[in-house]
Amino acid sequence: MTDELGKSYHGVLCIRCGQPISVSPKIVTLQSEFESGATTALGTFLNRCRVCELESRYWVADVRVFPGGSQASAPKARAGAA
């Protein structure tokens, strides 16, 4: 239980439904480089929300830390899958 209190993850808020979406370690590295001044490029990336299942473009500068474990849920079953 105490492990869960100390956990956090990097992510963005879904533009469509407002739920937090975790980002890859590469995006976290790009954010760190931007904040430290190592790069001046404001990059964007695509990320898919596991709640509303829609993909949107986000700014690297919009990445922030969310408390708790990452929001990794199983994708919904698709019709026609055998």
Total number of domains constituting the chain: 1
| 81 in a structural domain | no
SS3 letters for the chain? CHHHHHCEEEEEECCCCCCEEECCHHHHHHHHHHHHCCCCCCCEEEEECCCCCCEEEEEHHHCEEEECCCCCCCCCCCCCCC
Q: What is the pLDDT of residues 6-29, one digit of tens each?
A: 689 999 999 999 999 999 999 998
Neighbouring residues of 20: CB distance < 8 A, sequence distance ≥ 6: 11, 12, 13, 14, 66, 71
pLDDT digits (tens, 9 = 90+) for 43-64: 889 999 999 999 999 999 899 9
Does 80 fall in a domain? no
In a domain, 25, yes or no: yes
Confirm whether 55 is domain-assigned.
yes
75 found inside a domain: no
Confirm whether 19 is domain-assigned: yes
- The reply to whether 77 falls in a domain is no
Q: How far apart are CA 11 and CA 22, in angstroms?
A: 4
- The pTM of the full predicted model, rounded to 2 decimals, is 0.69
**By residue range, what is the domain housing residue 35?**
2-67
